[in-house]
Amino acid sequence: MKTTINEITNKIYRICVEVPADQIPIPGGFTFNQYLVVDEQPLLMHTGPRPFFPMVKQAIETVMPIERLRYIAFSHHEEDESGSLNSFLAEAPDAIPLCGQISAMVNGTGMDKPAKAMADGETLSLGEKIVSWIDAPHMPHGWDCGLLYEKTTQTLFCSDLFTQPGTGMEPLTETDILETSEAMRAGMEYFAHGPNTQKVLKKLIDIDPNIIACMHGSAWRGNGAKLLQEYAKILG
């Protein structure tokens, strides 16, 4: 497996672990991205699966000491979202988990430290950067799903939305990702299709992000509201 780290916007880094096709049942292989937000109180979004911890840690430490981390954030309870959570908490003694209120309630006993449980629309200052939490139940997975938005760079950490297969991708692209991600979803339907899907997408459209930080594949830069509107039409 290959691990790379690239700054995709001001002090936000994409850490990408590439898993080749011979190690995962996805044609062309697959990528797992974590995002490091460097500030007075640094935040890591997604941890990666537990076996990835040494690789992600090593990538972080090319930018800053891991002990500086203050928040380990994740969208929902899943191995690639929070599998290394407790490993990071052990290495960064001042860090705490950050997630939605539902995840803190139903998954809190599995965390080695109490989480900062964010309410829908709640904001948190990291220093220069400000993140806000967006409840997104059942989009695309469980009841506890939520997304994080960094306001100063207009970056939406979108979890499994716009998942793209393959490896060797650009860290940040301005080319179309919707067609590729929809082809992935057609072959491996991973959306929960909850009754609130359009309501959540409307909240994301209103935010109008400039960068969409995908968990799998390239991050994307462009007219976020337009891309999300097209997505909403497809999802019906």
Written as one string, the DSSP assignment of 22-68 is GGSSSTT-EEEEEEEE-SSS-EEE----GGGHHHHHHHHTTTS-GGG
Distance CA 228, CA 81 (A): 22
**pLDDT for the residue 228:** 97
- For the chain, helix, strand, coil in percent to 5 are 30, 25, 45
**Residue whose token pair is 């003694």:** 93
Is residue 91 helix, strand or coil? helix
SS (H, E, C) 184-234: HHHHCCCCCCCCCHHHHHHHHHHHCCCEEECCCCCEEECCHHHHHHHHHHH
pLDDT band at 202 (very low <50, low <70, confident <90, very high): very high
In degrees rounded to 5, what are phi and psi of residue 167?
-135, 175
- Look up the domain containing 14 and give its range: 2-235
Structural domain total, the chain = 1
Percentage of the chain beyond pLDDT 70 is: 100
Q: At a CB cut-off of 8 Å and minimum separation 6, what does 131 contact?
A: 37, 43, 73, 123, 124, 148, 149, 150, 151
**pLDDT for the residue 175:** 96
**Residue whose token pair is 């916007």:** 9
Neighbours of 233 (CB within 10 A): 9
The per-residue pLDDT for range 133-171, each reduced to its tens digit, is 999 999 998 999 999 999 999 999 999 999 999 999 999
* Confidence check: pLDDT of 236 > 90: no
Neighbours of 26 (CB within 10 A): 17
**pLDDT for the residue 190:** 85
- pLDDT (average), residues 11-20: 98
pLDDT band at 9 (very low <50, low <70, confident <90, very high): very high
pLDDT band at 71 (very low <50, low <70, confident <90, very high): very high
- pLDDT (average), residues 22-30: 93
**Among 30, 7, 37, CA closest to 157:** 37
Percentage of the chain beyond pLDDT 90 is: 92
Average pLDDT, the chain: 96
**pLDDT for the residue 198:** 94
**pLDDT for the residue 216:** 97
- pLDDT (average), residues 42-55: 97
pTM: 0.97
The encoded tokens of residue 195 equal 């009754």
Could you tell me the strand order of the sheet in which 219-221 lies?
Answer: 123-125, 130-135, 146-150, 155-157, 211-213, 219-221, 172-173
Residues pairing with 134 in the sheet: 147
- pLDDT (average), residues 115-139: 97
**Residue whose token pair is 């950067």:** 129
- pLDDT (average), residues 189-211: 92
- pLDDT (average), residues 37-55: 97
- pLDDT (average), residues 61-75: 98
pLDDT band at 193 (very low <50, low <70, confident <90, very high): confident
CATH code: domain of residue 117: 3.60.15.10
DSSP state of 114: -
pLDDT band at 88 (very low <50, low <70, confident <90, very high): very high
* Confidence check: pLDDT of 191 > 90: no
Distance CA 105, CA 107 (A): 6
